[in-house]
Amino acid sequence: MIRVGLTGGIGAGKSTVARTLTERGAYLIDADVIAREVVAPGSDGLAQLVETFGADILLPDGALDRAALAAKAFVDDEQRKKLNGITHPLVGARAAELLDAAPEDAIVLQDIPLLVENHTAPFFHLVVIVHADEGVRLARLTGQRGMPEDDARARIRSQASVEDRRAVADVWLDNSGTPDDLAAKAAALWDERLVPYERGVRTRACAPQPSAEVAYREQWPVDATRLTNRLRVLGGDKIADIKHVGRTSEVGAAALDVIELDVALAAGASAADLIDPLSDGGFPERSPGVHANADPGRAVTINLV
């Protein structure tokens, strides 16, 4: 099993990617759907909201009046924290239930609008960002969804920046073209990367690594940081330090397109302690003390020292 985090700014086209991957077999966990489910009529979540914000957040039929809730919950940080304190644990618990129910060979697609803002990117095997320029997104929101322009601009600018999204993106899907163009990119991602990646994690097989040098790429230190954050989550207190080493760490140097990381073990930890967590997280053991990538799209060598 692998977990793929899918996100992108409002109006970027995330739903097209989710639909395409789900049609090809992805196991979808949609945070927006769950968020509605946990406050449905008769739910404990709705009862907690009513107790906290009052019965006037309900419609005549007993369903949640989202506009009325927003008018009360978004007046200041204290009220917003009350709302999040109720809904976030419920959404997290339901997502965990669905994850536990996924098949062992699943490619789990978790559609999370605020993945970047919530700093959860390192907890996924892969993060897919769907992107479109602000002008394109604005036109879609005002034209296709009928959103007032001022509201659309405010929604766009309240979300994560392009730079923040690029920092956590393993895959960057540009959606400046047609929905069919984007769907084709998503289908290729499934066939060429996600399917072999899941198979590699499940069988603990390393992906092939490149054998020819390429010119220096400015993306290398960004990739190294993203991988380091993922390894820290996987290794926890068994890891003391991680350093980007080798030719890809030398600015301007040509090198094999392989990110090399030296992982210093914490006192009392051994390389054997990390075999299972690193392998399950996408980095199977290639040789004693050395792990590599199961992901065919991002070559990495991890030396446990």
The pLDDT of residue 149: 78
Same structural domain, 245 and 294: yes
Q: What residues contact 221, with CB distance under 8 A and at least 6 apart?
A: 244, 249
Q: Which residues pair with 29 in a beta bridge?
A: 110
- Is the pLDDT at 135 greater than 90? The verdict is no
In a domain? residue 206? no
Instruction: Give the residue from 173, 199, 225 where a domain finishes.
Output: 199
> What are 9-61's pLDDT values in tens digits?
877 889 999 999 999 999 999 999 999 999 999 999 999 999 999 999 999 99
The pLDDT of residue 76: 82
Q: Tell me the average pLDDT across 121-148.
A: 85
- Is the pLDDT at 155 greater than 80? The verdict is no
Q: Tell me the average pLDDT across 249-277.
A: 97
> What are 57-94's pLDDT values in tens digits?
999 999 999 888 988 887 788 988 899 899 989 999 99
- Is the pLDDT at 151 greater than 90? The verdict is no
- Cα–Cα dist 17/65, whole Å: 30
Give 180: exposed, middle or buried? Use CB within 10 Å, 0-12, 13-18, 19+.
exposed
Pairing mode, if any, of strands 171-174 and 126-131?
parallel
* % pLDDT > 90, the chain: 80
In a domain? residue 131? yes
Instruction: Give the residue from 135, 169, 199 where a domain finishes.
Output: 199
In a domain? residue 208? no
Structure tokens given for 90 = 């419920």
Helix axes 149-157, 134-143, angle to 10 degrees: 140
Same structural domain, 112 and 236: no
Q: Report the chain's terminal Cα–Cα distance, integer Å.
A: 28
Q: Which range of residues forms the domain containing residue 263?
A: 213-304
Same structural domain, 194 and 220: no
Element (H, E) at 139: helix 134-143
In a domain? residue 73? yes
- Cα–Cα dist 111/115, whole Å: 8
Q: Tell me the average pLDDT across 278-291.
A: 98
Q: How many CB atoms are closer than 10 A to CB 137?
A: 22
Structure tokens given for 148 = 């007032």
Domain count, the chain: 2
Q: Tell me the average pLDDT across 146-166.
A: 81
Q: Tell me the average pLDDT across 214-238.
A: 98
In a domain? residue 77? yes
The pLDDT of residue 89: 93
The pLDDT of residue 199: 98
Q: 129: helix, coil or strand?
A: strand
Same structural domain, 148 and 278: no
Q: CATH number, domain at 46?
A: 3.40.50.300
Same structural domain, 24 and 111: yes
Least confident of 65-79, 216-230, 261-275: 65-79
Same structural domain, 160 and 60: yes
* % pLDDT > 70, the chain: 100
